[in-house]
Structure 1
């Protein structure tokens, strides 16, 4: 059985769609998925990048693409009232539902759908109490250990080479994004392509640096 670590942030529409598509992508494969919330903004800061929703033109394209992809996948998808938004409360709530920094799939599903179904403001403080009641976290959202776990998860993802969400880690391989699910499935199916092609990219020289 393979263990798949899924690094996610509820702010990402691609993470939501990949989360919903994951069971079908892994059907028939013996596996165990560990879900680890991370702070995408912290990853962007680490790499000195802006998020897709912070770049004019790319922002609009991102929203159009995810609406299309949701339609293709048959996944209910409603843009929240505002995006991007501050996901810290939702990330901490999910982590407060676990003791090890890895909330279960139901918790992640509930938070994802809180954001991406219904078209309401994801960070509306008046909606949070009902979500807290539904999830019934084992720890306080603002507990120091919960905040520390979010940082630890983010640092762990960065240490493994992650640069965005969703990132799926299997063995020493990282698969980034919704469109990487078929590639990850091929690896799990022991596709021989990975024997040589995966590592060959290390030999490509950088022709110019800006």
Structure 2
């Protein structure tokens, strides 16, 4: 049985799509998944990047593309009333509940189905009542766990969500699920040296001569 770690932030429509597609993508394989809520904004800060929603044309395309992808895959999906939003309350709730598949599914669908405000206080209260967390989401230990998950992910080399980690490899994005499946199926490409060779080349900045 392979152990997978699924790093996610509920703010990401791609994380939602990957979450919904994962069981079908890996059907027939023996695996277990550890779901780890992380703060995507922490990745952006660490790498000095803007989020997709902070670049107006990219924001428009992202929303269109994810809605089309959901439509084509017959996954129910509506944009939340406000996006982006602060996902910390949802991340902490997931951690407080144990972040299993049921918990993550419930929170993802809270955000990405129905078109309502994911951060609305009344809706969050109802969600908390539904999930009955074992710990208080406002507890400092819960907050620290979300931060620790984020720090762990950055140290592991993550730059975006969703990312699924297995063995020493990271598979980023909802469109990486077929590649993940191939790896788990033992595709010889992964032992041919092609994985390592793809990254074994200098970048332009490192080669640029100083003027």
Could you state the TM-score of these two structures normalised by the residue count of structure 2? 0.96
Q: Cα distance, 1:129 vs. partner?
A: 1.3
Residue of structure 2 aligned with 1:202, choices 172, 185, 199:
199
Between the aligned partners of 1:17 and 1:203, the Cα distance in structure 2 is 31
Partner of 2:152: 156
| Cα displacement (A) at 1:208 | 3.1
Among 175, 187, 194, the alignment partner of 1:191 is 187
Matched, 1:61 2:61: yes
CA RMSD of aligned residues (A): 1.0
For 1:186 and 1:206, how far apart are their aligned partners in 2? 28
Distance of 1:203 and 1:76 partners within structure 2: 40
Return the alpha-carbon distance in structure 2 between the equivalents of residues 97 and 22 of structure 1.
21
User: Which of 142, 146, 167 is equivalent to 2:163?
Assistant: 167
- The count of residues paired between Structure 1 and Structure 2 equals 206
Unaligned runs of 5+ in 1: none
Consecutive unaligned residues of structure 2, counting only runs of 5 or more, are: none
Deviation at 1:204, TM superposition (A): 1.4
Provide the residue aligned with 2:89 in structure 1: 89
Stretch deviating more after TM superposition (120-129 or 197-206): 197-206
Give the TM-score of the pair, scaled to structure 1.
0.96
Q: CA deviation at 1:192?
A: 0.5
In structure 1, how many angstroms separate the alpha carbons of the residues matched to 2:37 and 2:123?
Answer: 20
How far the C-alpha of 1:202 sits from its partner, in A, is: 3.1
Deviation readout 1:34-61 (Å, 9 max, x if unpaired): 1000000011101100110111100000
**1-side partners of 2:202 and 2:141: how far apart?**
43
Structure 1 distance, partners of 2:120, 2:204, is: 47
> 1:124 — aligned with what?
120
Runs ≥4 in structure 1, deviation > 3 angstroms? none
Aligned to 2:33: 33
